[in-house]
Amino acid sequence: MPIALAAAASVLVVPVATAEVTSVGAAGFEIREQIHVSAAPDAVYGSLLSPKRWWDPQHTYSGNAQNLTLDAKAGGCWCETLPGGGSVEHLSVVYFAPGKVIRFRGALGPLQAMGVAGSMTVKLTATGGGTELTLTYVVGGYYKAGFDELAKAVDGVLASQVGRLKKWIETGSPT
């Protein structure tokens, strides 16, 4: 990715209600992002499935979020096309319950070059005034430098993305 995760974590655009590293150890980490969105679960889900509208282009390989696609079905790809005919698989869909839950497998961005694997679950729960969105990302494997600082950086990046999604849904602009 054009910008290192650690640097990106320091320039969060949109705060989220709850963003935390829930666990970190020698073999991996878990993070959790939770936010209330003032929209019905189906509207949140529909927007979630169109990352090109809300994902920060600085956290793409091409520098252009318009190159992102998400094929919402088991075996589907959250992918990015690259100039010159290349492509990147960011995550693959392993569980799909429309309007409720989507689960991905994969290592995001620079994590792809490490000896790690990840599982990301996005759960939507209807509330009286909208939707509670909860994202968990569990990463395990080997990273020579350890996971303490890496977990914080990934948490910062995903907190920013969830905040951008909320802002996109509620205002029509991710920034």
| CATH number of the domain to which 166 belongs | 3.30.530.20
Confidence of residue 7 (pLDDT cuts 50, 70, 90): very low
Asked if residue 136 lies in contact with residue 29, where contact means CB atoms within 8 angstroms, the answer is: no
Rounded mean pLDDT, 148-160: 96
Give residue 3's pLDDT. 38
Helices 41-48 and 148-171: angle between axes, nearest 10 degrees: 120
Give residue 25's pLDDT. 96
Mean pLDDT lowest for which of 6-10, 51-55, 138-142?
6-10
Question: How many Å is the Cα radius of gyration of the chain?
Answer: 15
Instruction: Identify whether 109 is part of a domain.
Output: yes
Residue type, 130: G
Which structural domain, as residue segments, surrounds residue 142? 5-60+94-171
Instruction: Identify whether 19 is part of a domain.
Output: yes
3-class DSSP assignment, residue 130: strand
Model pTM?
Answer: 0.89
Mean pLDDT (the chain, rounded)? 91
**Residues 27-86: pLDDT tens digits?**
999 999 999 999 999 999 999 999 999 999 999 999 999 999 999 999 999 999 999 999
Q: How many structural domains compose the chain? A: 1
Instruction: Identify whether 54 is part of a domain.
Output: yes
Q: Name the nearest CA neighbour of 99 among 83, 122, 117.
A: 122
Instruction: Identify whether 72 is part of a domain.
Output: no
Give residue 57's pLDDT. 98
Instruction: Identify whether 49 is part of a domain.
Output: yes
Confidence of residue 8 (pLDDT cuts 50, 70, 90): very low
Check whether 170 has a pLDDT greater than 70: yes
